[in-house]
Chains A and B, each alone.
Chain A
């Protein structure tokens, strides 16, 4: 009995130890358990998709119920203000939720506002929201009420922007605001879904000024032919000719620090001006990147459907990174401010970290180094929170230093990046630049070659060559002198040798 007891005790002990072991192992493999439900990849210097380390992991998915309210119904927009409060536009429920910075609870729920005359007004299918960092005013694109509201944080309407009466605005068109933002000067920009002329622009007093930042027409063969025929057509004929119009951009974000407005175009039929960086004058600073492919470099064709990247929302992080949300594949493409690809994350599916195909709505980032990314899935009615991995932190750190011109300081982070992911091309570029600045040209050449950056290689090689010449100048001179003297001596010796047999021959014949 005792023995048996002991044995059973031992058994229990073993079992307990086993459970502890299991727990330890499972907690150790917790990151593996939280693996992303997709293959993480990046593009190497040849433009091939290669496996890569994850820069972000999906931490959790937050639904309306998680926030302590009813389920979200077709939410359309998510915005983070300068104080890290989130504003979620719950279009189907005609409300805007203000959520705390941890994204756990609702701070305030806006369903109706007080008009200046004291009456109450409600929203109808609001589509976009923006909160000014200077004034704290909330800008709401109140879509089906054909107006934009400028609201104080306490819920009183400061101003209402309705359809402009100006002749510049075609009066046959409706006025259905989709997205809205305001710049530092208080100008309001509204994306409409029925014009290709750009965003409608209103000054601080609510007057319509004009359009802002239209896309350009893709120079296809058809457009060029049209241009030619229009040049020789009469006025009468011109009226019946088809016109070349650009595609309209349908979302934008403002870099509040620099004042640039970034637009995104989700049209699947064009490759031009997918992402624009527009300065206050309306000029696209990304114009020189006309051959740049945003999103996936290759689009898949499957059963007659093209799975081409469609960027539905764009967000500029506090560190200047450009975050693009692709609705086709449910992927987030994160670029640094120079439009170099940093990370790709997300997929379509049902697990945390994947989204409803074709139905993601908005993206936001938080933190000085983009520590968190928030993706709003309209189909599921939830927000997925991505957190930065250690790898992501190092890359962001290195990128920030590098883009700031601190090449040497960025060397260690880049080397660390390479340790974790040997395919990460930007690391090779960064290391090459760092070594160049440190005067280690040989290494700089080596890394430039690995990054396939021949212009950089050329620069490093030029310095390496002059360094080498300077170091070996005496040796080179000595060798040159020895060679010249040696050749002269050799020639003379050969001459003498040739002469000698001739001499002997002549002397032989003489005797």
Chain B
């Protein structure tokens, strides 16, 4: 029973928001390979949403293209989520490993990614008066993903409903802290780097003179 291949697992999980992840956990399905593909798709979706939409819905993209904001919006946020959730739920007696949190969370993002791509396509054939279709697709994708993500966290840690809510709220806080620390570290390392570099040039100058 339920001997599914990996692609079938993805389908099963997405279309069974309430018991899909429990099955996945029970059968130890899901691989990191799909996580990588999904996050890559998320990255592309972010770019598509920003730059490939029809002109009637989105302003012209900047002439300068920087990949950093899109990496930030996809990979960095996802990693912060996984890390934050793992850190919080280790303290809250969660059963999920880092690998499982990664896999389950990424599978939950699929409806959102798909809705984004559908919207990018729709934005080329709809006009502004029909924006309601656009936002309908967007909200369906968003809510679907939110339910999946909730269900994913609930299953991966074997939590009750209230505990999952608390864990998610705490995870969001943890993400903030992680991102804050990341920015802090980055600027700090930059300062350190500048310090050593000026030291180096100073010494070089002394040696020469």
Contact residues of A with B, CB < 8 Å? 445, 448-449, 452, 454-455, 457-458, 461-462, 465
Tell yes or no: B206 within 8 A of A by CB.
no
Q: List 20 A-B contacts (CB under 8 A).
A: A445-B55, A448-B55, A449-B55, A452-B59, A452-B60, A454-B55, A454-B56, A454-B57, A454-B59, A455-B128, A457-B55, A458-B56, A458-B127, A461-B54, A461-B55, A461-B56, A461-B127, A462-B129, A465-B125, A465-B127
Closest-CB distance, B10 to chain A (whole angstroms): 22
A390 to B19: give the CA distance in the assembly, Å: 75
A455 to B128: give the CA distance in the assembly, Å: 9
Closest-CB distance, B135 to chain A (whole angstroms): 16
15 additional A-B pairs beyond A449-B55, A452-B59, A461-B54, beta carbons within 8 Å, are A448-B55, A449-B60, A454-B55, A454-B56, A454-B57, A455-B128, A457-B55, A457-B56, A458-B127, A458-B128, A461-B55, A461-B56, A461-B127, A462-B129, A465-B125
A448 to B55: give the CA distance in the assembly, Å: 10
Residues of B within 8 A of A449 (CB): 55, 60
Residues of A within 8 A of B54 (CB): 461
A180 to B55: give the CA distance in the assembly, Å: 49
Closest-CB distance, A436 to chain B (whole angstroms): 14
- Interface of chain B residues 8 through 61 with chain A (CB within 8 A): 54-57, 59-60
Residue of A nearest to B59 (CB): A454
Closest-CB distance, A350 to chain B (whole angstroms): 39
Residues of B within 8 A of A454 (CB): 55-57, 59
Closest-CB distance, B50 to chain A (whole angstroms): 15
Which of B54, B55, B57, B125 has the most CB atoms of chain A within a 10 A radius of its CB? B55
A171 to B159: give the CA distance in the assembly, Å: 81
Residues of A within 8 A of B128 (CB): 455, 458
A448 to B59: give the CA distance in the assembly, Å: 12
Give the interface size class of chain B.
Answer: 10 to 19
A448 to B54: give the CA distance in the assembly, Å: 13
Closest-CB distance, B59 to chain A (whole angstroms): 7
The SS class assigned to the B binding surface is loop
Chain B 105-130, CB-CB to A under 8 Å as 1, else 0, gives 00000000000000000000101110
Q: Is the Cβ of A462 less than 8 Å from the Cβ of B127? A: yes
Residue of A nearest to B56 (CB): A458
Residues of B within 8 A of A465 (CB): 125, 127
Which of A449, A452, A461 has the most CB atoms of chain B within a 10 A radius of its CB? A461
Closest-CB distance, A458 to chain B (whole angstroms): 4
Residue of A nearest to B62 (CB): A46
Which of B60, B125, B129 has the most CB atoms of chain A within a 10 A radius of its CB? B60
Residue of B nearest to A450 (CB): B60
Residues of A within 8 A of B56 (CB): 454, 457-458, 461
Residues of B within 8 A of A457 (CB): 55-56
Closest-CB distance, B120 to chain A (whole angstroms): 16
The 10 closest A-B pairs by CB, nearest first: A458-B56, A462-B127, A458-B128, A457-B55, A449-B55, A457-B56, A458-B127, A461-B56, A454-B55, A452-B60
A313 to B59: give the CA distance in the assembly, Å: 36
Residues of A within 8 A of B59 (CB): 452, 454
Residues of B within 8 A of A461 (CB): 54-56, 127
Residue of A nearest to B130 (CB): A462
Closest-CB distance, B129 to chain A (whole angstroms): 8
Residue of A nearest to B127 (CB): A462
Closest-CB distance, B1 to chain A (whole angstroms): 21
Residues of A within 8 A of B60 (CB): 449, 452
Chain B 126-154, CB-CB to A under 8 Å as 1, else 0, gives 01110000000000000000000000000
Closest-CB distance, A30 to chain B (whole angstroms): 38
A237 to B129: give the CA distance in the assembly, Å: 53
Residue of B nearest to A463 (CB): B127
A410 to B55: give the CA distance in the assembly, Å: 25
A396 to B127: give the CA distance in the assembly, Å: 34
A448 to B125: give the CA distance in the assembly, Å: 17
A452 to B56: give the CA distance in the assembly, Å: 10
A393 to B125: give the CA distance in the assembly, Å: 40
A480 to B57: give the CA distance in the assembly, Å: 28
A273 to B127: give the CA distance in the assembly, Å: 36
Residue of B nearest to A468 (CB): B125
A462 to B127: give the CA distance in the assembly, Å: 6
Residues of B within 8 A of A458 (CB): 56, 127-128
Closest-CB distance, A44 to chain B (whole angstroms): 11
A455 to B56: give the CA distance in the assembly, Å: 7
A455 to B57: give the CA distance in the assembly, Å: 9
A158 to B96: give the CA distance in the assembly, Å: 97
Closest-CB distance, B117 to chain A (whole angstroms): 21
Closest-CB distance, B51 to chain A (whole angstroms): 14
A452 to B62: give the CA distance in the assembly, Å: 12
A452 to B55: give the CA distance in the assembly, Å: 9
Residue of B nearest to A464 (CB): B127
